[in-house]
Amino acid sequence: MAHDFPVQRSCPFAPPAEYEKLRDEAPVVRGKLPGGEVWLVTRWAEARQVLSDATISTAPSTPGNALVAMSAEPPPPEVLEAQAEQGRGFFIDMDPPEHSVYRKLLIPEFSYRRIKELRPGIQATVDRLIDDMLAQGTEADLVEAFGLPMPSLVICQLLGVPYSEREFFQSRTRRMLTDEDEAGRTAAVGELRGFLSGLVAEAEKAPGDDLLGRLVTARAVPHEDMVGMMFLLLVAGHETTANMIPLSVLSLLRHPDQLRQAIDDPSLWPGAVEELLRFHSIVDWVAFDRATTQEIEIGGRKIGAGEGVLVLGASANRDERVFPDPDRLDIRREARPHVAFGYGVHQCLGQNLARAELEIALRTLFERVPGLRVDTPDEELSFKYTAPIFGMNALPVSW
């Protein structure tokens, strides 16, 4: 029997309720999407197998790609043509060896050593935003005042994007992720790429001392491919962390015993971040769409070539076989094996940056605003239950 998919979350602290039933049923089950059926991977071991298998493709153009089945009707030719052009340099949708070319260019910029060098700048950004928030009074929307601008500032500084343009790229990113109309999403992508194309052109004339300037100076890839790389880094570099910050704050406030442990022992913050990443798994199946290129066995099932596969990251990260009592938030848990950043050659390039941002943001916020609280009941808070990347629309806080 095929299960209807996708399914929505209904609780801010848990994946869709159906996921536990799917895990109990089998590590791989059939999912019925608007445009056809695909395989859904529900458990941790099989998720890592799929995400690291070189015979399973992430390219949308590969026959059977699972994401294609998300739409009841295939996109019109003009949309497909636009998407193909906009896909240049978007290396998350490429398989090796093409994917490897782009990733190798960027690994030094996101290495543990490089992010360690950036930590003082991240700390200064966090402190400045908290200063501004405190200066406004005794209450704020944590999403607008802190969660959204913090990673936006950091990624803009890192890439060399003027922060004055943040409202433009944030609005286009939201349209791209939430617009129900395929043409609307494609248009938002085109507008954002056009904006970035101008920035790349300026850097080609006068490269600065930033990631874009260094890449342009190296002349490693053509102009349009550079635009695609910047597009991916800009969107991925702020949208996910911006959603994780307010969710993490709410979760810790709703688990005061866990929060008190981290405040009393700051060495627990790195582990707390890993547990929060596992606990929320805000990306879930987004970017985990795959297609088989040959017959393969997953979880005891024979799956033929040209079939769609979706890894349910939020289900894998609640797999009882790996994470005992998985629905409990436990910042002392060894959560690092989670797949919130993916696994294999496509594992998130910016994971070191995301970890540093979350650790510094959460630790500093609770240290500097010890009376931080959320008085609004959870059922009255606004969550992004229908968005592909889970998060909060707003988080009213006071102190």
Low-confidence ranges of the chain (pLDDT < 50): none
265/259 Cα distance (integer angstroms): 10
Give the pLDDT of residue 313. Answer: 98
CA-CA distance, 355 to 360, in Å (whole number)? Answer: 9
Instruction: Give φ, ψ of 309 to 5 degrees.
Output: -135, 130
Residue with token string 């260019």: 105
Domain 3-398 fold: Cytochrome p450 (1.10.630)
- The per-residue pLDDT of the chain, averaged, comes to 92
Cβ atoms of 212 and 160 within 8 Å: the answer is yes
Long-range contacts of 303-306 (CB under 8 A, 24+ apart): 303/28, 303/39, 305/64, 306/63, 306/64
Predicted TM-score (pTM) of this structure: 0.93
| Residue-level pLDDT at 91 | 92
